[in-house]
Structure 1
């Protein structure tokens, strides 16, 4: 997922919201269309933006019921970040993440844990570590607890 911040004048914001709604209507992927509509709604709710006139709802086209039984589709898990695989640790990539040199590389799981350890030693908060290493904040807390447990055992 890519997050983008765009600053526009209030006069242009209304047009951008309308374009997003048009893109949502043309989008074949329902999830992406929902994302476009949500972005348009957030733009319209922003302070200083005039609210659009109420839109008339068109009736949904009548759907014909299918006679075929539903097909069970396998659930595919897609992680947030496609991490490289391999046992070797790329120290340069880890040091780039620790020093905050952008663009930050995507680290393997072992490299991410190493970078988390270094950033913890530097006193960085869990939220910053999670953002840099591209892991959940809860994972940072769990790894820290596991490291403390290993030291005390």
Structure 2
């Protein structure tokens, strides 16, 4: 038996790897090996599954915006700080101006892609 450790940097990469494992399991003649690959794919899915509801953006405690935290998220400096809702909206606007995709912006901000789409539509005046 050989143990393999794989590190993936994003949930998207983990989902892609899980899909490849499922495809390999479907093509595998050995039923036992296919079962192990499907199990590995299931464990990858469990690692990246979002909880039912957990606020990923802190509610504002103070009226001011931490511009250094917003800058870190926009530049992608790890570890990414947790932002208040107002800071996340500002960072979303900067990411949109810089041309980041909706999914990349959502991963950086810690919100769902639908939230990023809504914020972008509101920032564009509802024309998007």
Structure 1, unmatched stretches of 5+, are 1-9, 14-41, 53-76
Structure 2, unmatched stretches of 5+, are 5-17, 37-51
* 1:12 is aligned to 2:9: no
CA RMSD of aligned residues (A): 3.0
Higher-Rg structure is: 1
With normalisation by structure 1, the TM-score equals: 0.49
| Structure 1 partner of 2:106 | 130
With normalisation by structure 2, the TM-score equals: 0.57
Could you tell me how far apart the structure 2 residues matched to 1:100 and 1:92 are?
Answer: 12
Residue 145 of structure 1, aligned match among 95, 100, 121:
121
Could you tell me how far apart the structure 2 residues matched to 1:138 and 1:101 are?
Answer: 24
Could you tell me how far apart the structure 2 residues matched to 1:146 and 1:12 are?
Answer: 49
1:86-116 deviation line (CA, Å, top 9, x unaligned):
3210000000000000000010000000000
Q: Across the two proteins, how many residue pairs are aligned to each other? A: 89
Pick the structure with more helix per residue: 2
Task: Please list every run of at least 4 consecutive aligned residues from structure 1 whose deviation after the TM superposition is greater than 4 angstroms.
Answer: 44-49
| Structure 1 partner of 2:54 | 79
Superposition pairs of residues 25-104 of structure 1, within 5 angstroms = 47=25, 50=33, 51=35, 78-81=53-56, 83=58, 85=60, 86-104=62-80
Superposition pairs of residues 114-125 of structure 1, within 5 angstroms = 114-125=90-101
